[in-house]
Amino acid sequence: MIQLYGHEVSGNSYKVRLLLELLNVDYEWIKVDLMKSAHKSPDFLALNPLGQVPVIVDGETVLADAQAIMVYLARQYGDERWLPLESLELAKVVRWLSTTAGEIRQGPENARLYHFFGVANINIERSHQKATDILTHLDQHLSDRQWLEFERPTIADVAVFPYVALARDGKIELEKYPHVVAWIERVKQLPGFIPMAGI
C-alpha cells in the first residue's frame, strides 16, 4: 500500500491525497508534524533531503514534490483522462503544473504562508499582486470552459485547486472571480472529493 507522508494543513500534501481519492487508490496517511519540525528529522530527511512534504513510498519507489507525485500516480494508477499521452495535450497539462509551482506559489500560496502561518520574510504586497494577476488570468481562462484543459478534469485541475481554493487564508477574496468560484464548486462535486480545513 502507498504511504503518503504529509501534513493536514499543507495544500501540497492535500492535492496528492485528493488525487489518490479521485483515483480510488488505497493509501496510508502518515502525518509529518511540521509544527514540531518532524520534517527535519533524520528519518524524514532520508526520504526527502529537502525536508518538504509530501512524500510517497510505493514499494521501492520513494518520490517527493507534489507535482511529480501526481504525474507518477496518474500514470501508474490512472489513465489518459488524468494525464494525456499525446504530446500537445500532455504539454497543456504540464503548463498548469508549472503555473502551480510558479505564479500560484508566488501569489496565493505565499500570501497564505504570510497571513495563516506568520512567515514574515514574504513580500506580501508582491504576493497579493501575483495573486491578482493569476486569478484574473484563471477567471478569463475559465470563462468559456468547465475545466482547465479539455472537457474533463485532469491533474492540472488537482494541482491548481488547493491554493486557489484556500486564497481566503491569504486574505484574498474570490468574489470578483466568478468563473474561478464556479470551477472550485465543480471540483468539489467530483466523485471521491475530500475536503481539507479552509476548503
Positive or negative, the CA dihedral 182, 71, 107, 136 is negative
Query: Residue 55: phi, psi to the nearest 5?
Result: -140, 140
Give pTM, 2 decimals. Answer: 0.95
Q: Do 187 and 193 contact (CB within 8 A), yes or no?
A: yes
Q: How many CB atoms lie within 10 A of CB 77?
A: 15
Integer-rounded Cα Rg, in Å, for the chain is 16
Going residue by residue through the chain, which has 199 residues, state the pLDDT in tens, using 9 for 90 and above.
999 999 999 999 999 999 999 999 999 999 998 878 878 788 889 889 998 999 999 999 999 999 999 999 999 999 999 999 999 999 999 999 999 999 999 999 999 999 999 999 999 999 999 999 999 999 999 999 999 999 999 999 999 999 999 999 999 999 999 999 999 999 999 999 999 999 9
Cα dihedral 36→118→7→18 (10° resolution): 180
Query: Residue 144: phi, psi to the nearest 5?
Result: -130, 25
DSSP secondary structure string for all residues of 55-100:
EEEETTEEEESHHHHHHHHHHHHS-TTTS--SHHHHHHHHHHHHHI
